[in-house]
């Protein structure tokens, strides 16, 4: 696997785990594993800045806003923090800060890192007018009605001197005692108890009915400010927090100002000692440069301030026994071994499962069925096995053997040489992957089936109305009209959209199939290589079937001869078409009437060899549309500016990329220049 492929793989994994953590409140991996993925991605991108893209998880904070709440665009982005996991990493942070500021010692504000849900409160003339979650850092969820039910959130500030518009940021948490009582009540009512206080707080704040939120024991602690208009605040972070407390906002009393690295370490050790006696969960300590002028001098990196860091606590561990090892099939077909454990209480919850990640990890740790193991829970639902206590290994302990067939659909399990993760190869057929396969198939850049949203897909699959993507074209308006939130008009519109989607392009169709690592660029290359350029003597359906047959018969060597297709991607394509289940679904799709026009012969493209960077907001098209138009003319669209960039195309509110272009002397084009460029190229 080359660097580009590894980066894309890491991005996909992180995006998925962001969705599980921030949107579903149902994380699959511990914080420690997520942090390892993010760190590896950051290191790879730092070494290869030309591969950084705007949609990389390193360029953003979290995941998208939940449906059901209105969107709020943060006027000042809500960034996350870099993490330190040792005193050495904390010392490195302190060294960087001192060197950039050219001082011998720095004063830091030190505070516990509360384990809850980040929230933003907007006060106008001292009155609470909006509450919003962090969301993706730029756009969050409007939870104003729910925030108003939290007693520790003042509806009107007290005192005087607060700015005309003031955004206060903090954490909504659920204290231990309240969490215990809530779970007792939930269980008494026959419900499923919450896993931990963090999930309970997040789920409570995201209730569509604020009356439910009002019954939940939520509290909020403030840790900073965002937008400030029509007024001034003190020149130190610690004094700002004191001022917020004066205005009636809740701030943790144990926040201290410490001097230098020694003060930071002493505060961390103190909080680690008292951690279990606190009335709420914390997962570390946050250190912020106290002086605001020094914060401004230090500035920001892409997703975090240079003047703050979170020193994380070590994960909590316990001893238990491995009862069995089986595998789970993820939404992308990843086969993950899971240890079934003798129940053990660790990290505040009873743990019965632990992820083993992949076959290599099992071999490396030598985990066997029957072993006694140390289990670590790093603040999330699914813990990990740290190590085996081999001194207690029973004589009958059994080695794990990865199954050859998917336990869900029976398709071959494949593991590409050089990759750690094994996968089910029945992507179009496997029930474990069904929902995600259909969502991808219907997406705008694939078959573009307007009106087929995620929730409708879930209904269709859950009610067993569709079993694969081809079944979409067997739906009728009466069946659709009977579904939740659907009526006759919506049903007829969707049927029309399904009919319209049958007339597509070969590259869109190939992208829609969801073949591993076949994105839009690779799909376009495949379409050019295997698509018919002459439709004479063939019907549309015959030509479509001939195109697919040519691709399905292609050898590994033939595929590798295509520009931008390496051995790994070629292997994925060959394996995909070898699976009978996948071929059956494709046949059903072609029988349903999906066709495309002959493949156009590609002439020399006018922007071939040129590289552009898009930044800011465009008024006449989205940046995605601009990217597609530029790529169609042969240009490369990059996410970062370098001396090799042909030009930066800057819309409104262009940020750091524009500044870097000006610093490097890279030409800057506005939207009018872009339109002229596209017209000239066309």
Question: Catalytic residues, which ones?
Answer: 113
Integer Cα distance of 286 and 304 in angstroms: 13
First to last CA, the chain: 36
Positive or negative torsion for Cα 403, 405, 406, 412: positive
Q: Could you tell me the CA-to-CA distances from 497 to 452, 503, 506, 590 in Å, in that order?
A: 9, 11, 18, 17
* Distance from C-alpha of 123 to C-alpha of 34, rounded to nearest angstrom: 35
The Cα-based distances of 38 to 314, 324, 351, 366 in angstroms read 18, 30, 25, 26
The backbone torsions φ and ψ at residue 121, rounded to the nearest 5 degrees and listed phi first, read -115, 130
- Which pairing describes strands 334-346 and 316-329: parallel, antiparallel, or unpaired? antiparallel
Cα distance between residue 184 and residue 190, in whole Å: 10
**Tokens representing 29?**
């991996």
Q: In this structure, which long-range contacts are made by residues 28-31, counting pairs with CB atoms below 8 Å and at least 24 apart in sequence? A: 28/355, 28/381, 28/382, 29/355, 29/380, 29/382, 29/384, 30/315, 30/376, 30/377, 30/378, 30/379, 30/380, 30/382, 30/383, 30/384, 31/283, 31/312, 31/315, 31/378, 31/379, 31/380
CA-CA distance, 121 to 175, in Å (whole number)? 20
Q: H-helix or E-strand containing 140?
A: strand 139-141
């Amino acid at each position: 696997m080359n660097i580009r492929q590894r980066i894309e793989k890491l991005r996909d994994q992180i995006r998925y785990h962001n969705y599980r953590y921030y949107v579903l409140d149902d994380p699959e991996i511990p914080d420690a594993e997520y942090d390892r993925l993010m760190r590896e991605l950051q290191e790879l991108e730092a070494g290869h800045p030309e591969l950084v893209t705007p949609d990389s998880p390193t360029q953003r904070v979290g995941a998208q806003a939940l449906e059901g709440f209105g969107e709020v665009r943060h006027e000042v982005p809500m960034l996350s923090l870099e993490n330190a996991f040792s005193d050495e990493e904390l010392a490195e942070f302190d060294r960087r800060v001192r060197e950039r500021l050219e001082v011998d010692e720095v004063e830091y504000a030190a505070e516990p890192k509360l384990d809850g849900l980040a929230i933003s409160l907007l006060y106008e003339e001292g009155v609470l007018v909006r509450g919003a979650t962090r969301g993706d850092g730029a756009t969050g969820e409007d939870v104003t009605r729910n925030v108003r039910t939290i007693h520790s959130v003042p509806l009107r500030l007290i005192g005087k001197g607060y700015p005309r518009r003031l955004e206060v940021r903090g954490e909504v948490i659920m204290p231990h005692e309240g969490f215990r009582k809530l779970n007792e009540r939930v269980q008494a009512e026959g419900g499923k108890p919450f896993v931990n206080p963090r999930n309970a707080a997040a789920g409570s704040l995201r209730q569509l009915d604020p009356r439910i939120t009002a019954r939940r024991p939520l509290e909020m602690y403030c840790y900073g400010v965002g937008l400030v208009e029509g007024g001034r605040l003190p020149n130190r972070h610690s004094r700002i927090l004191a001022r917020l407390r004066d205005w009636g906002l809740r701030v943790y009393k144990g926040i201290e100002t410490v001097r230098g690295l020694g003060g930071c370490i002493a505060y961390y050790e103190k909080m680690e000692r008292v951690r279990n006696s606190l009335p709420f969960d914390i997962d570390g300590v946050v250190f912020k440069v106290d002086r605001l002028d020094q914060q401004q001098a230090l500035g920001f990196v892409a997703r975090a301030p240079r003047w703050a860091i979170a020193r994380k606590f070590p994960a909590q561990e316990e001893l238990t026994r491995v009862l069995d090892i089986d595998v789970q099939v993820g939404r992308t077909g990843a086969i993950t071994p899971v240890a079934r454990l003798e129940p053990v209480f660790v990290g505040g919850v009873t743990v019965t499962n632990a992820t083993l990640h992949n076959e290599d990890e099992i071999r490396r740790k030598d985990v066997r069925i029957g072993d006694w193991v140390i289990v670590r829970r790093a603040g999330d639902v699914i813990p990990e096995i740290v190590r085996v206590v081999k001194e207690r290994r029973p004589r009958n302990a059994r080695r794990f053997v990865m199954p050859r067939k998917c336990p869900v659909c029976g398709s071959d399990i494949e593991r590409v040489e050089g990759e750690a993760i094994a996968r089910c190869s029945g992507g179009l057929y496997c029930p474990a992957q069904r929902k995600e396969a259909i969502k991808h198939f219907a997406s705008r850049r694939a078959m573009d089936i307007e009106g087929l949203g995620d929730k409708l897909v879930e209904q269709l699959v859950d009610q067993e109305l569709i079993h694969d993507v081809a079944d979409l074209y067997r739906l009728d308006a009466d069946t659709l009209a009977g579904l939740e939130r659907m009526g006759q008009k919506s049903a007829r519109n969707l049927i029309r959209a399904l009919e319209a989607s049958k007339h597509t392009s070969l590259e869109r169709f190939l992208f829609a199939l969801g073949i591993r690592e076949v994105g839009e660029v690779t799909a376009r290359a495949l379409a050019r290589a295997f698509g018919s350029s002459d439709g004479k003597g063939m019907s549309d359906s015959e030509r479509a079937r001939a195109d697919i047959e040519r691709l399905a018969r292609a050898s590994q060597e033939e595929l590798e001869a295509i520009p931008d297709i390496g051995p790994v991607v070629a292997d994925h394509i060959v394996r995909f078409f070898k699976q009978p289940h996948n071929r059956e679904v494709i046949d059903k799709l072609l029988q349903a009437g999906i066709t495309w026009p002959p493949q156009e012969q590609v002439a020399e493209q006018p922007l071939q060899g040129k590289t552009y960077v898009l930044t800011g907001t465009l008024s006449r098209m989205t940046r995605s549309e601009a990217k597609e138009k530029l790529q169609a003319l042969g240009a490369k669209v990059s996410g970062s500016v370098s001396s090799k960039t042909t030009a930066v195309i800057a819309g409104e509110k262009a940020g750091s990329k524009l500044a870097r272009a000006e610093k490097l002397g890279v030409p800057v084009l506005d939207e009018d220049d872009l339109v002229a460029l596209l017209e000239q190229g066309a």
